[in-house]
Chain A
Amino acid sequence: MPTADGLDYALEGKKVRKTITEMVIAAGRGHVGSAFSIVETLLVLYKTILKVDPKDPRWEDRDRLILSKGHGCLALYPILAELGFFDRAELLKYCKPDGILGGHPEHHKIPGVEASTGALGHGLSIGIGMALAARMDGRGYGVYVILGDGECDEGSIWEGALSAAKHKLSNLTVIVDYNKQQSYGDVSEVLPLEPFADKWRAFGFDTAEAHMDRPQELEALLKRPRGDKPRVVITHTIKGKGITFIEKNLSWHHKGKLTPLEIENIFNELEI
């Protein structure tokens, strides 16, 4: 719930991480680190920015959010459920045969999901198509695309970046989850992206950076008046954020069955 100072991100973040943990316990698997990394980003978007209607998920004028790093979907599902896009009972059926929530999100199955993602490097171009359609139809909605940093290794991302700039898609916002780690190791070692902000600037984007230990930074950036270009916000995040022994720990990028001790330690740290 919002406080006088805005959303209580610390509390909301713990609630989401608790639900994610319960889902991973139930399923025995999940991309924990990648999901914990974007919890605050999704809270900023869904609680303060996006115009969406859980009662009418296909409302034509809704803002569109595409989680291009589809493996981060464990962070998305609890938030969509809380907003009422689908029954909370679905959460504990994550990855189960009778559930709608898979290890990567599919839009035909899940109300509130705009595009099926999971193979990396697809979401930006789909978002560009939606942003172009908005312009053709004279509609005012915004399109938001969340990319992973490792995902920016894909050439198709940069094809999309060229196109977004060409079309001056001021209704398009790219958010890069820059936690600086990918599956195998540090981004700086596997395939360096720096100077990262300069690259986006050179590609023609209004480029800003936000530190997600202060989610209000992202909130303020996204509330700024739009220019005449597509914009990107590089969010500085921590893979596995929120639990000390998961933070920056690559063995939690994708995690199998949790041990009783791990479960106890996570819930102790979440204090709720």
Chain B
Amino acid sequence: MTAPVELEVGRIVGAPVARKEDQKLLQGQAQWVDNMRQPGMVFLGVVRSPYAHARIKNVNVDPALAHAGVVAAWSGADIADEWQGSLPCAWIPTEDTNAPEHKPVAVDKVRYVGDAVAVIAATSRGAAEDAAELVEVEYEPLPVVVDPEAALAEGAPLVHDEFGTNECYTWKLDAGEVDRLFAEAAVMVTERYRQNRLIPNAIEPRAVFVTSIPATGEFTLWSTTQVPHIARVTLSGVTGIPETKLRVIAPDVGGGFGSKLNVYAEEALALAVARRLGRAVKWTETRSEGYLSTIHGRDQIQEIELAATADGKITAVRVKLTVGMGAYLQLVTPGIPLLGAWLYAGCYGVEGYSFECTGVFTNTVPTDAYRGAGRPEATFAIERAVDALARKLGKDPVEVRRLNFIREFPATIASGLTIDSGDYDACLDLALEKSGYDDVRAEQLSRRAAGDPKRLGIGLSTYVEMCGLAPSAILGAIRYAAGGWEAATIRCLPAGTVQVLSGATPHGQGHETAWSQIVADRLGYEVDEVEVLHGDTAVVPLGMDTYGSRSLAVGGIALYYAAERIVEKAKKIAAHVMEVDEAKVDHVRGVFHGPEASLTLKEIAFAAWTAHNLPAGLEPGLEATYVYDPPNFSWPSGAHVAIVEVDTETGAVELLRYIAVDDVGTVVNPIIVEGQIHGGLAQGVAQALYEEGIYDDDGNLLTSNMVTYLVPSAADLPRWELHRTETPSPTNPLGVKGVGETGAIASPAAVMNAVVDALAEDGITDIDMPATPERVWRALEEVRS
């Protein structure tokens, strides 16, 4: 742990400043959505389908209406005229993508367990819950399909009859002479992996609170959202409430990890009920309800082939994904696997690249963004396959990696994008040194020689990922419906403090602290003199919100350039006040030096506010906005090492050590960076060892609550050993890359490579995630028999 240090001007970016956000959170003073209340408000209760696939024959809400405290109750049909459009999907990847209508409350058919069929408005939470149980719904059950491959088979039950298929889309990316390279390959590896379905589990459940002024038609929606700006424009489309009449506020939000990067039925429903009743409306999911109504992640079947020379130089990669979309398309459901589309060759230079992804409807909760979104999957496939290649060649995985690393930057990779910078050898060198790789290998051998039933395994993951979403033109080219820019405003107030309006919308990341550091560093304010406002469309009108490790690499750069604009204007005022030529004024972190005198930015801000003596034609006030559209993604990389012990008698896997070397470019605040990596590692290790959302053949979610879905506790995870290398990104002036997802991207591969490495001598080459004791034991039994 790095202790906070006293700040010096010029050393603020990079300093371990303790977070400004903490005080209210530590004292129970956060403004969570579920804290909101208003006299006369109603609570929503949502009636959800117990069937994964069924026709709705009849919905009778009368018994619910008779219950004390119930104000109103509606079936999907009763409330259908509230909807001007479907719940949004902003990423339709191909022209012929099958995109179903998605109403907030189902009308004719339910398509997954949890699909909403009716809604109750009642004067208390308890009355809403009780009344929801009184609604009588008559269902005609239909055949169910939950597995994406089974859903593509001839005769599979159709989730959406109108398409005549469960295929949502197929998207391809081909580069180089892949077939020739495979035909000429001396060695080939063909692997098949399963990306387990994951449930994000942000610790704050989702909640919505709506107030309105019926006479003016104005609505304010407080939501546990990562994306208030995207929510406003899309919910306007769903409800028909004009954007001018809809204000969306994300107050304190308790984690997201992608699950709150969405626009949900209950947000639209709360607006519609508020419009119908003219009363404030609140809905808060229970955790178990969230498992059935908040998006899941992953659920991919991955087939990957490598073509290589006899000594292990990879020449081509061919990938085919079959991905469960779930029953509907949420905000970015179809695009999630495509965020990995360019990364299946990892940090290795190849000539040929072929990627194909088929999205498939199933009778399950929709999948969407979960920490890493497409990139953990890609990293897992290539890193596992490289280990498989090393085993096939009888070489150490380190050697095969070194043989294939990209070493010249910027590097245009076979899939077509350009990696900004990196030094993959430096990361690997440090990871090997810090893990004592050679010693662990030696111990592994001696354990084997001694016949120790506890095998040692060591797993590598040398990853590169693309984040900082994203250049708007590239997003347009891949048919994403919005831009990738971000906005920041700096407003120098007259009495010596400064407001920052951030379009990026934090939910635990520490933007207030990091943004304050950047402003302090550029403009000479103290960190505590900077006030960062965010997450309210009325206060911060411009924004694209927070996801994809984009906030610093895009929003932070917008802030940097806004500061440049402040300096530009302040310099004019300084020159005017000092009566010197502007060219003779130098700016150094908030102080403007003329030949004979100096003015501070605070003095200039006051002068700009009084406007008593400004240069002719210059507007009063000192405020600047910058909207930054990045020229490239940013490309963090690193080398992670997992060391595991696998008990061949019980199947238990213990993660003994985890060493992470990450290169995330310039670091603004090392404690925040470390915290982000810790959290990402915990979620990635959880994917490898603990977590899986499991459906039975009838479409019942068997892991339907926090007891049956194993989110790891402190006792289940090791101490993280973190190290860093630093190659600044050359595509932005701060050199930053992004850190929110690296841990979750790199770690599943490292852990599973270690588990397989431990058992390779036993003849095991793959174990599905999560590698539970039962799964490991069964795999061992299979090879033993």
Q: Is the A/B pair a real complex?
A: no
Q: Please list the residues of chain A having a beta carbon within 8 angstroms of any beta carbon in chain B.
A: none
Q: Please list the residues of chain B having a beta carbon within 8 angstroms of any beta carbon in chain A.
A: none
